């Protein structure tokens, strides 16, 4: 502000104040700060680029450790058109936003090796596990775990292939052997012990089934071995019956055989057409084999009698019974009680009159009972 000069005084011009020294100092200080800021920014960018290079090296190294058997997949991933500039810009943006180094490394790992992978989180409150891509920390953990497993496997193999120490022979003397010993650098061949074969129990051989006899049609004989003429429909030969199971009708001594004899009734020589087995009255009479009661009856000569028809056209005849327990057409099984023995008919004492026929040929029962 200018004031009017007083009388007799000259009015002075007003000049603006200036501070050239202070202005120059401020300008120089501003330039230094700007240069320092630019230099710091350049240094920081260089450090980040160096760190990114180290991270790339670690990614490739860890990736090969995680999947050494998939080098083709790694080669294909490295040959893809990867946006490295975009990845570095993303790193700079993450640094400016203050994200943690672990998160920055995960983002860089995903953008370089898994650009198409996406991370999906599980819905809130559901408790269900979400699906996420492999992170940098996962890769490090897999590599470490795999290397520990390989080291353990190498130790196991080296322990298993190491040759056992050879025991000294009792015949060896204290004098060292003149043969040259292998130097420590020479490789010793691995000695593998051949495991002894496990003892195997020999299977128990199954019993060989006895050959079955062929069932043929019975034929009548005209003469016996003594040259005596035989009655009609009689054979002294043995013919297989082909029955599954047979039993003795009764057990007792044989009182008269099948063949020629002196009759106790007439005292004449005649052919006895049965096997007499002496047993007391009331002895249970069993069915010789499975079959059906062919007929029952009573006569003056045979008393109470019955006949059972079996398989293969075989039949059995029982006479002089005291009581019959079956009827015509009744099925019976081998060993069933069909009657009781006695002395009915023309007899001199209690016994069972037993006869076997096949194909209507009367056979010698002695071949088919065990008395």
Last residue of a domain, one of 113, 137, 163: 113
Mean pLDDT confidence for 338-359: 96
Q: Which domain holds residue 52?
A: 20-113
What is the tally of structural domains in the chain?
Answer: 2
In a domain, 159, yes or no: no
Among the residues of the chain, which ranges form H helices?
20-66, 71-79, 84-96, 101-113, 136-161
Q: Is the pLDDT of residue 119 over 50?
A: no
In a domain, 78, yes or no: yes
Is the distance from CB of 358 to CB of 239 less than 8 angstroms? yes
Is the distance from CB of 354 to CB of 289 less than 8 angstroms? no
Q: Which pLDDT score is estimated for 212?
A: 73
Report the CATH number that the domain containing residue 267 is assigned in CATH: 2.70.70.10
Comparing CA positions, the residue from 282, 297, 277, 295 lying closest to residue 340 is: 282
In a domain, 142, yes or no: no
Mean pLDDT confidence for 258-271: 92
b (16+ CB within 10 A) / e for 352-370: bbbbbbbbebbbbbbebbe
Q: Which pLDDT score is estimated for 116?
A: 57
The SS3 of residue 22 is helix
In a domain, 101, yes or no: yes
Last residue of a domain, one of 55, 81, 113: 113
Q: Is the pLDDT of residue 175 over 50?
A: no
Q: Is the pTM of this model over 0.85?
A: no
In a domain, 322, yes or no: yes
Phi then psi for residue 52, to 5 deg, are: -65, -40
The SS3 of residue 199 is coil
In a domain, 128, yes or no: no
In a domain, 74, yes or no: yes
Last residue of a domain, one of 83, 113, 143: 113
In a domain, 106, yes or no: yes
């Amino acid at each position: 502000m200018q004031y009017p000069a007083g009388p007799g005084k000259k009015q002075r011009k007003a000049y603006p104040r200036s501070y050239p020294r202070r202005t120059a100092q401020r300008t120089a200080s501003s330039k230094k700060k700007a240069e320092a800021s630019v230099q710091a920014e350049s240094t920081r960018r260089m450090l980040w680029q160096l760190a990114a290079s180290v991270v790339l090296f670690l990614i490739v190294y860890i990736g090969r450790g995680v999947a050494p058997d998939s080098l083709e997949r790694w080669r294909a991933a490295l040959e893809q058109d990867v946006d490295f500039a975009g990845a570095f810009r993303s790193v700079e943006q993450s640094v400016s936003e203050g994200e943690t180094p672990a998160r920055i490394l995960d983002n860089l790992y995903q953008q370089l090796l898994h650009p198409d992978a996406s991370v999906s989180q599980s819905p809130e409150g559901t408790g269900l596990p979400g699906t996420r891509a492999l992170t940098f920390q996962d890769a490090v953990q897999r590599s470490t775990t795999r290397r520990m497993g390989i080291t353990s496997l190498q130790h196991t193999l080296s322990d298993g292939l190491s040759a056992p120490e050879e025991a000294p022979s009792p015949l060896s003397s204290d004098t060292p052997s003149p043969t040259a010993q292998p130097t420590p650098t020479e490789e010793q061949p691995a000695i593998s012990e051949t495991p002894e074969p496990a003892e195997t129990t020999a299977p128990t051989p199954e019993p060989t089934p006895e050959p079955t006899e062929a069932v043929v049609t019975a034929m009548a004989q005209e003469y016996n071995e003594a040259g005596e003429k035989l009655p009609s429909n009689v054979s002294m030969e043995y013919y297989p019956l082909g029955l599954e199971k047979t039993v003795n009708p009764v057990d007792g001594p044989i009182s008269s055989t099948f063949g020629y004899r002196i009759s106790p009734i007439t005292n004449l020589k005649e052919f006895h057409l049965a096997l007499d087995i002496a047993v007391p009255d009331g002895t249970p009479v069993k069915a010789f084999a499975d079959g059906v009661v062919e007929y029952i009856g009573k006569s003056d000569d045979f008393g109470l009698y019955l006949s059972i028809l079996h398989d293969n056209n075989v039949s059995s005849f029982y006479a002089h019974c005291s009581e019959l327990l079956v009827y015509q057409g009744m099925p019976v099984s081998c060993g069933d009680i069909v009657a009781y023995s006695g002395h009915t008919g023309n007899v001199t004492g209690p016994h069972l009159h037993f006869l076997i026929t096949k194909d209507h040929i009367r056979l010698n029962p002695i071949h088919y009972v065990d008395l």
